[in-house]
Chains A and B, each alone.
Chain A
Amino acid sequence: MVMKLLIVEDDSEAAAYLVKAFRESGHVADHSGDGLDGYAMAREGDYDVLIIDRMLPKLDGLSLIHGLREQKVETPVLILSALGQVDDRVKGLRAGGDDYLAKPYAFSELLARVEVLARRRGGGRAEETRYQVGDLELDRLSHRVTRAGKPVDLQPREFRLLEYLMKHAGQVVTRTMLLENVWDYHFDPQTNVIDVHLSRLRGKIDKGFDRPLIHTVRGAGYMVRDSAR
């Protein structure tokens, strides 16, 4: 899926880097250098995701988002900010942002989050009650998981982990995204505890099968994908 993105960022070097990186990933990216111009572009252009810096000349990022939401512009917004503390994050999401990423960040993290936001805009798979990837099936209502027809016994957290991965099947999901969405914490867990959870889940899902469904994406995170297709 090709995404059409708007980057509102006053640091031209950082913006140029982002535009180039997104284009290399096969997406379309526009750039605006200040809040007012960004606001106009966001209202006019049909963007999939807006990437908005918090500190902008002329109109600050949070006011921009607030203005857009008042005008019923519901394009998903990812806030980029040098302020990365918990309360800043809460403020950003309260202003109408959909996700929040603190600088400095890895581009893979930003790309993964933007892709999830774009998918959400396209309707995504949020409303589905059953997810299926290859011969792996997850029923959200009965909390049952089967692989090749055989039931897989999962702990509640493992179920939620798999649910999130399958909801975003075909997309890269980073470790921090998992910690935020499956555990609802935003802190730094020091050791890579998420990897251990994933390897345990992998043991239950992929062990004994020729075709693995949970893939590690180097330098980024994880992805559930049926590699045969």
Chain B
Amino acid sequence: MTALGKLVRTTAFKLSAAYLVIFTVFAFLLLGYVAWNARRLIADQVAGAVQAEVQGLAEQYGAGGVRRLIGTIEARSRQPGSSLYLLTSARGERIAGNVERLPADLLSQPGLRETMYSLNDEPDSRPRLALVQVFDLPGGLSLLVGRDMSEAEALRGVIRRAFGGALALVVVLALIGGWFVTSRVLGRIDAMTATTRQIMEGDLAGRLTVTGSHDELDRLAANLNAMLDRIELLMAGLKEVSDNIAHDLKTPLTRLRNGAEQALRGSDDPGQYRHALEGTIEEADNLIRVFNALLMIARAEAGSAREGMVDFDAAEVARDVAELYEPLAEEAGVPLTVNVPQGMPMHGSRELVGQALANLVDNAIKYARVTQAAGESAHAPHGAGVTIAATPRDGALEIVVADRGPGIPEADRGRVLDRFVRLETARSRPGFGLGLSLAAAVARLHGGELRLEDNAPGLRAVLTLPVRPSSPKVPPQRPARA
């Protein structure tokens, strides 16, 4: 592509050209209107003067006939800056007047018109423009009365020159203005293009500049930044997952392999083989569960589970889960209280919401048990145990699973929602560290969130689910980076 071709293709050029054309057309129309009006005004004035002259001459003619008319014409012709007069005989000879030369056939055509003429006392002068009226008088006489138009002509010239100058000025201004406006706007777009290119080339931390003017481009930049934040989060998640998969799946895989190897190396006792094989299957089952949970999280994160969404009663799911875990809680000596109203319809994945709640309740019972095992139950405040409560709140359902266990230190609350994160205090408990992250992913899939709060003591997990899921929650916007 040539440099010119490139220039022509830019939006800046196109917009500037459009500005130019529009400005020019408008200026042309405006100036043309002014010029036309001025011209008409002058012509009207001249015509009026000629008319008055004709009126005067007609009166003289009426009072004293041709003789008096000739006298008046000759008298008036001698005055400086006078009008134009010419009286000719039937044969075209000049009887009186100050006009020397005229187009030959002019006198034979009565009426008002513009023509060129010369005065008889300035024989070598250039022909000048005049507005003349011709009358036929009785006896074959022709009378011409006119007014010099050279001043009007000069004014027209001034207007024409002003016209040209103004147009040139408008073109220049339009070009400058168009270029200024477009380059300001397009400069920002170009800057955005440059930044996005940088980001595409691998600088994922880069962000578009948000000027704070809240205009369209600012909103675009803010939205693109939010999108980039989400992409960065997903990328970070992906990287973390692969790191964690490497660690947390390799560990049981190693155990599995070691167990099988040891069984082979050991005695030939069928009982020992059996034991080893059972252990192998158990490890494999655990691996499958971790794998399934990971897939479920990935699906929820990617939003692909959206297809399976239906209308269902979240209250019923909450009660089902509570009922499912109630014997477990009782066996663990943890009272399970359910405080769920009747009928909380929502649109979403019943299975995933059920799984998320099951994870929260399972966790709560598990950790409430930790506390009791540590002998703190004797001092536990009244109402110790696990509470499942649900309340509708402005277009969303809030399901709270609260326990009186050790809770989670504030600093760790964000971290435990990540995959595979298990606090040191939980290392000794069974689990894979995926329960809370799965619940959080389910919340995000529905456009809601999972909040962990202090239950003083214990943990309050608040699952907020919009009744109608909109779009997956985008992390809060970070301040713009230039």
Contacts and interface: CB of A to CB of B under 8 A. Distances in A.
B295 A85 contact: yes
A190 B307 contact: no
Interface string A98-120: 00001010100000000000000
Given A85-B305, A90-B308, A193-B328, A187 B323 contact: no
Interface of A: 84-87, 90, 102, 104, 106, 157, 183, 185-191, 193, 196-197, 199-200, 219
A193 B325 contact: yes
B289 A191 contact: no
Given A183-B324, A193-B325, A86 B308 contact: yes
A85 B327 contact: no
Given A188-B355, A193-B325, A193-B328, A104 B288 contact: yes
A190 B292 contact: no
B327 A200 contact: yes
Contact of A190 (B305, B320, B327, B431): B431
Contacts, number: 63
A185 to B, nearest CB: 5
B405 interface: no
A187 B351 contact: yes
28 contacts: A85-B295, A85-B299, A86-B305, A86-B308, A86-B349, A90-B308, A102-B292, A104-B284, A183-B320, A183-B324, A185-B324, A185-B351, A186-B351, A187-B351, A187-B352, A187-B358, A188-B292, A188-B293, A188-B355, A189-B362, A190-B359, A190-B435, A191-B362, A191-B366, A193-B327, A196-B327, A196-B328, A219-B278
Contact-residue size bin, chain B (C-beta under 8 Å from the other chain) = 20 to 34
A95 to B, nearest CB: 15
Given A187-B354, A190-B362, A193-B327, A84 B292 contact: yes
A188 B351 contact: no
B331 interface: yes
Contacts of A84: 292, 295
Nearest to A87: B308
Contacts of B217: none
A196 B435 CA distance: 20
Nearest to B317: A185
Residue of A106, A185, A197 with highest tally of chain B CB at under 10 A: A185
A54 B446 CA distance: 29
Interface of B: 278, 281, 284-285, 288-289, 292-293, 295-296, 299, 305, 307-308, 320, 323-325, 327-328, 331, 349, 351-352, 354-355, 358-359, 362, 365-366, 430-431, 435
Nearest to A90: B308
Contacts of A219: 278
Contacts of B305: 85-87
A197 B327 contact: yes
B295 A196 contact: no
Contacts of A90: 308
Nearest to A186: B351
A183 to B, nearest CB: 6
A191 B328 CA distance: 9
A196 B296 CA distance: 26
- A-B pairs with the 7 shortest C-beta distances? A87-B308, A187-B355, A196-B327, A86-B351, A190-B362, A196-B328, A200-B327
A176 to B, nearest CB: 12
Contacts of B295: 84-85
Nearest to B321: A185
Contacts of A187: 351-352, 354-355, 358
Given A87-B305, A104-B284, A191-B365, 9 more contacts: A85-B295, A86-B352, A90-B308, A183-B320, A187-B352, A187-B358, A190-B362, A191-B362, A219-B278
Nearest to B349: A86
Contacts of A191: 328, 362, 365-366, 430
Given A86-B349, A196-B331, A197-B327, A189 B358 contact: yes
Contacts of B435: 190
Contact of A193 (B284, B296, B308, B324): B324
B308 A188 contact: no
Contacts of B324: 183, 185, 189, 193, 197
